[in-house]
A and B are shown apart, each in its own frame.
Chain A
Amino acid sequence: MPDKTPWIEIRDLRFARGGRTIFDGLNIRIPRGQVAAIMGPSGSGKTTLLRLIGGQLRPDRGQVLVDGQDVHRLSRRALYRLRRRMGMLFQSGALLTDLDVFDNVAFPIRENTRLPEPVVRALVLMKLEAVGLRGARDLHPAELSGGMARRVALARAIALDPELMMYDEPFTGLDPITMGVIVTLIRRLHDALGMTSIVVSHDVAETSSIADWVYLISDGRVVDQGPPARLQEAATDWSRQFLQGLPDGPVPFHYPAPDYLGDLMNAEGRR
Chain B
Amino acid sequence: MTALQALGRWWLGVLGRLGRGHLFLLRTLVALGPLMLRPRLWIRELYSVGVRSLLIILVSGLFVGMVLGYQGYITLVDFGSAEALGTVVALSLVRELGPVVTALLFAGRAGSALTAEIGLMKATEQLSSMEMMAVDPYRRVLAPRFFAGILSMPLLAALFSAVGVAGGYLVGVGVLGVDAGAYWAQMQANVDVFDDVLNGVIKSLVFGLVATWIAVFEGYDTEPTAEGVSRATTRTVVHTALAVLALDFILTGLMFGAL
A and B touch in the complex (CB under 8 A): yes
**Which 5 pairs from chain A and chain B are nearest by CB?**
A94-B129, A94-B125, A83-B134, A108-B133, A88-B132
Cα of A51 to Cα of B127 in the assembled complex, Å: 13
When distances are taken between beta carbons in the complex, the residues of chain B under 8 Å from A108 are: 133-135
Q: A interface vs B, CB < 8 Å?
A: 51, 54, 56, 80-81, 83-84, 86-88, 90-92, 94-97, 107-108, 111-112, 153, 156, 160
When distances are taken between beta carbons in the complex, the residues of chain A under 8 Å from B129 are: 88, 90, 94, 153
Q: Interface size class for chain B?
A: 10 to 19
When distances are taken between beta carbons in the complex, the residues of chain A under 8 Å from B135 are: 107-108, 111-112
Say whether, besides A92-B124, A94-B125, A80 and B136 are in contact (CB < 8 Å). Answer: yes
Contact status B134-A107, CB under 8 Å: no
Partner of B133 from the list A91, A92, A112 (CB cut-off 8 Å) is A112
When distances are taken between beta carbons in the complex, the residues of chain B under 8 Å from A56 are: 128, 131-132
Q: How far is the CB of B32 from chain A (nearest CB, A)?
A: 17
Contact status A90-B133, CB under 8 Å: no
Q: B interface vs A, CB < 8 Å?
A: 120-121, 124-126, 128-136, 140
Q: How far is the CB of B29 from chain A (nearest CB, A)?
A: 16
Contact status A111-B140, CB under 8 Å: yes
Contact status A92-B132, CB under 8 Å: no
Q: Which chain A residue shows the least CB distance to B127? A: A94
Q: Which chain A residue shows the least CB distance to B140? A: A111
When distances are taken between beta carbons in the complex, the residues of chain A under 8 Å from B140 are: 111
Cα of A107 to Cα of B124 in the assembled complex, Å: 17
Knowing that A96-B121, A96-B126, A108-B135 are A-B contacts, what are 18 other residue pairs whose CB atoms are under 8 Å apart, sorted by A's residue number? A56-B132, A80-B134, A81-B134, A83-B131, A86-B132, A87-B132, A90-B125, A91-B125, A92-B125, A94-B124, A94-B128, A96-B130, A97-B121, A97-B124, A97-B126, A108-B134, A111-B133, A112-B133
Cα of A108 to Cα of B131 in the assembled complex, Å: 10
When distances are taken between beta carbons in the complex, the residues of chain A under 8 Å from B132 are: 54, 56, 83, 86-88
Q: How far is the CB of A86 from chain B (nearest CB, A)?
A: 7
